[in-house]
Structure 1
Amino acid sequence: MKETILSLTPQNWEDYELIDTGGFEKLERFGEFILSRPEPQAIWDKSLEENEWKSMAHAIFSKEKNNPEKGHWNELKKIPHNWQISYKNQDNLKLRLNLAMTSFKHIGLFPEQAVNWDYITDTVKKLPIKQPKILNLFAYTGAASVAARGTGAEVTHLDSVKQVVTWSKHNMESSGLEGIRWIVDDAMKFIKREVRRGNKYHGIILDPPAYGRGPDGEKWILEEQINEMLKLCAELLEPEHHFLILNMYSLSFSSIIAANLVNCNFKEVNNAEHGELYLVDRFEKKLPLGIFFRFRKL
């Protein structure tokens, strides 16, 4: 099977900019506000001086000593707890996304994923189906779900955390849309039920974390469970016209692993692409932010 290996970075952002990276940190602009956050991949030196970062930043995230997964924001300039930014692509997709500073350093958006929003809108428009059914697993705050819905798809959005599903609803409403089906559940339990029911989807989007918990404490470990999940997804995917997007953020995984996982579990893989997602700062330093594998049959 022929595969295209790509390194992809978004081309359509106006409300987002990666300003500088280095020293295990990144400096980013979201709309009119600039944030400094930890970034384990940025092992090189910063291009700007430390005092320049501090003078530009509205807020800096500091990790807790005993729990590196959590921390707090030090506000250096006035910044609202919640604000919005916009995204528009060449297919006339228009998203209005809600951001907030959380204790886990995240703000409700992964900007590098814009390349997949573009892929979703392009694919949904080209599928010869009036309203294709799309399943978004581990869907977080739902930009991909809103992108699919904004292009006319029937969307099922699943995440195990009720608060981020509520956040996703706000993103849908802010984008002037309605009609997404919301599910708060464990992803593995849900797709097993869908297989038993005989349900099918024209598109499946997976964005699994390295580790996670379901709403009832179900354990998710990527390397132990992703193979089984893809087996189930192969049963859920419509055979004639379909697409699949797999994103993974584990530092130990390459896109070749993703390619092997998909090729071993799906009988037919057309127009396959895999590689890295990255962002570029003002000084042309490329920050890798995960791997992807995607394919489609139109």
Structure 2
Amino acid sequence: MNETILSLSPQHWEDYELIDTGGFEKLERFGAFILSRPEPQAIWDKSMSDQEWKDLASAHFSKEKNNPEKGQWNEYKKIPHNWQIKYQNPDGLKMTLNLAMTSFKHIGLFPEQAVNWDYITDTLKKLPVKNPKVLNLFAYTGASSVAAKAAGAEVSHLDSVKQVVTWSKHNMESSGQDGIRWIVDDAMKFIKREVRRGNKYHGIILDPPAYGRGPEGEKWILEEQINEMLKLCAELLEPEHHFLILNMYSLSFSSLIAANLINSSFKEVNNAEHGELYLIDRFKKKLPLGIFFRFRKL
């Protein structure tokens, strides 16, 4: 397998900016609002003072002492319950994405994933297939699904949380798209059924969490299940014209692990790229935000 090792950061954001990082936090602008959130990888010092952060921030997220995964937002300036930002790239992708502050510090968007939205758009425009079928697993609020739909794909979007799928529908509608197939299910159960049915996809997008639960309490542990899942995906991928994107956020994983997993699961891997996704702040500090592996056969 020929492969390229890359570090990728988005190039086309206007409505998003990473302002500063450090002290286990990040300061970000989402449209008209600036948010301060925990960031476990930002172990260095901030470039700006705490007072400068507070002066800029519209809201700050504070973690609960007994549950670091949950917390509350402290608003310094009035923020609407929901607001929108836009993303577009030179290939013609235009999306309007809906944001909201949740009790898990997330706001419905992972901005570093813009590099993969660009990749999806570019790949589908070049794929010599009419109405290619794309499966988005662990699809969260669906920006990748909307990007694939906008590029002409028949998209199946799967997440285990019904409220998140509803959020994804709003993103589709706000972006002027329709016709995405929505699935609330456990990802592993679903792809096993798809393999038994003999279904095939031209594109598969996987963005699995380190830990998660299916709609009926099914347990997902990345290290224990990703190998089996990739082997099933190999059976679902169309052999002639295809692409696959794998994102992983576990702090203990490197892109070399992703490469080994892909190599052991897929017989043929073309135009492979893997490495780190990152965002860069105003002070040129690079914040790593997960690893990726992607390949395509056009």
Task: Decide: shared fold, TM above 0.5.
Answer: yes
Once the 2 structures are TM-superposed, how far is the Cα of residue 81 of structure 1 from its aligned partner? Answer: 1.4
Once the 2 structures are TM-superposed, how far is the Cα of residue 39 of structure 1 from its aligned partner? Answer: 0.1
Match of 1:169 in 2: 169
Distance in 1, matches of 2:90 and 2:258, equals 28
1:232-267 CA distances to partner (integer Å, 9 max, x unpaired)?
000000000000000000000000000000010000
Task: Please state whether the residue corresponding to 1:168 is helix, strand or coil.
Answer: helix
Distance in 1, matches of 2:117 and 2:257, equals 23
Distance in 2, matches of 1:247 and 1:61, equals 25
Task: Please state whether the residue corresponding to 1:231 is helix, strand or coil.
Answer: helix
Identity in percent: 87
Match of 1:6 in 2: 6
Match of 1:42 in 2: 42
Distance in 1, matches of 2:142 and 2:131, equals 19
Match of 1:290 in 2: 290
List alignment gaps of at least 5 residues for structure 2. none
Distance in 2, matches of 1:79 and 1:171, equals 19
The amino acid across from 2:14 in the alignment is E
The amino acid across from 1:278 in the alignment is Y
The amino acid across from 2:270 in the alignment is N
Distance in 2, matches of 1:238 and 1:2, equals 20
TM-score (norm 2): 1.00
Match of 1:25 in 2: 25
Distance in 2, matches of 1:151 and 1:95, equals 12
Match of 1:122 in 2: 122
Task: Please state whether the residue corresponding to 1:139 is helix, strand or coil.
Answer: coil
Match of 2:109 in 1: 109
The amino acid across from 2:168 in the alignment is S
Once the 2 structures are TM-superposed, how far is the Cα of residue 166 of structure 1 from its aligned partner? Answer: 0.1
Match of 2:256 in 1: 256
Once the 2 structures are TM-superposed, how far is the Cα of residue 159 of structure 1 from its aligned partner? Answer: 0.1
1:61-82 CA distances to partner (integer Å, 9 max, x unpaired)?
0000000000000000111110
Once the 2 structures are TM-superposed, how far is the Cα of residue 290 of structure 1 from its aligned partner? Answer: 0.2
TM-score (norm 1): 1.00
Task: Please state whether the residue corresponding to 1:128 is helix, strand or coil.
Answer: coil
Once the 2 structures are TM-superposed, how far is the Cα of residue 223 of structure 1 from its aligned partner? Answer: 0.2
Match of 1:84 in 2: 84
Q: Which runs of 4+ in 1 moved over 3 A?
A: none
Task: Please state whether the residue corresponding to 1:193 is helix, strand or coil.
Answer: helix
Task: Please state whether the residue corresponding to 1:136 is helix, strand or coil.
Answer: strand
Match of 1:183 in 2: 183
Distance in 2, matches of 1:232 and 1:3, equals 22
1:223 aligns with 2:206: no
Once the 2 structures are TM-superposed, how far is the Cα of residue 2 of structure 1 from its aligned partner? Answer: 1.2
1:142 aligns with 2:142: yes
Task: Please state whether the residue corresponding to 1:205 is helix, strand or coil.
Answer: strand
List alignment gaps of at least 5 residues for structure 1. none
Distance in 1, matches of 2:90 and 2:265, equals 33
Once the 2 structures are TM-superposed, how far is the Cα of residue 44 of structure 1 from its aligned partner? Answer: 0.2
Once the 2 structures are TM-superposed, how far is the Cα of residue 130 of structure 1 from its aligned partner? Answer: 1.2
Distance in 1, matches of 2:81 and 2:256, equals 40
The amino acid across from 1:288 in the alignment is P
Distance in 2, matches of 1:3 and 1:24, equals 33
Distance in 2, matches of 1:82 and 1:93, equals 23
Distance in 1, matches of 2:21 and 2:12, equals 20
1:142-194 CA distances to partner (integer Å, 9 max, x unpaired)?
00000000011000000000000000000000000100000000000000000
Distance in 2, matches of 1:128 and 1:89, equals 22
1:196-222 CA distances to partner (integer Å, 9 max, x unpaired)?
000000000000000000000000000
Question: What is the alpha-carbon root mean square deviation over aligned residues?
Answer: 0.3
The amino acid across from 2:208 in the alignment is P
Task: Please state whether the residue corresponding to 1:215 is helix, strand or coil.
Answer: coil
The amino acid across from 1:48 in the alignment is M
Distance in 2, matches of 1:229 and 1:120, equals 21
The amino acid across from 1:214 in the alignment is G
